[in-house]
Amino acid sequence: MKKLIIPLILFITHLTSAQIEKTSDTLEIWTLFSIGNFVNQNAERIVEKKWPFKIKGVAGDAFVEDLIDSVEIHNNKVWNYLDAHGYSESKKVFKSDLLAEINRIKKAVQISDADKRIMDLFEKWRKSERQNYTQLNKLSDIKYEFVLYSFDINKLDEGQRFELKYITDLENERITILK
């Protein structure tokens, strides 16, 4: 009887610890980001959806060098965990996905910045001293939706005002105004 109980206890302990490991914490990849980097922040948000982890910025524009080492150590544990659980070369694939997304978003922004209607809107905001907020949505690998809002920094209680919604087509290098 003793011989049967011990393996049973070990089996139950293993199942319990495996369940706790799965639910106790979410995986996080830490980044050292630059505050206000529209392209990188959106690329990380988009690419993150394809992975079983969250991306968390742990430092702003200034940080101590020791932080780089601790970020790398932490992230390597996550990459090793992923590689041991069905992923292959997760770090390399993630970096490739992220770089591709960064390049697509940069191109979408360049197309947007070259459009006279967009340039005129930003100039109008500059003259009226309004701040802008841009929401970016990925529709496909060649199309991104931009939703532009503005707000008066001195009258924050008025909230933001919708200004423009458009789609940037990377393949045709064209903008389609929606609203």
Question: pLDDT by residue for the chain (179 residues), tens digit each?
Answer: 555 555 445 555 555 444 334 434 579 998 877 666 889 889 999 999 999 999 988 776 666 777 788 899 999 999 999 999 999 999 999 999 999 999 999 999 999 999 999 999 889 888 888 888 899 999 999 999 999 998 887 777 777 888 889 999 999 999 999 97
CA 102 to CA 47: how far, in whole Å?
10
Judging by beta carbons within 10 Å of its beta carbon (0-12, 13-18, 19+), is residue 127 exposed, middle or buried? exposed
Q: Are 33 and 102 in contact (CB under 8 A)?
A: no
The two tokens of residue 19 are: 């369940």
Cα–Cα distance measured from residue 129 to residue 154, given in angstroms and rounded to the nearest whole number: 9
Distance CA 129, CA 123 (A): 10
pLDDT at residue 24 in the model = 41
CA distance linking residue 35 with residue 134, whole number of Å: 15
What was the pLDDT predicted at 125?
A: 86
Q: How confident is the model at residue 86, as a pLDDT?
A: 92
How far is Cα 31 from Cα 55, in angstroms, rounded to an integer? Answer: 7
Measured in residues, the chain has a length of 179
pTM: 0.77
pLDDT recorded at residue 25: 58
DSSP of the chain: -HHHHHHHHHHHHHHHHHHHHHHS--EEEEEE--TT-HHHHHHHHHHHTTSSEEEEEEE-S---HHHHHHHHHHHHHHHHHHHHTT-SSHHHHHHHHHHHHHHHHHHHHHHHHH-HHHHHHHHHHHHHTEEEEEEEEE-SSSEEEEEEEEEETT-GGG--EEEEEEEEETTTTEEEE--
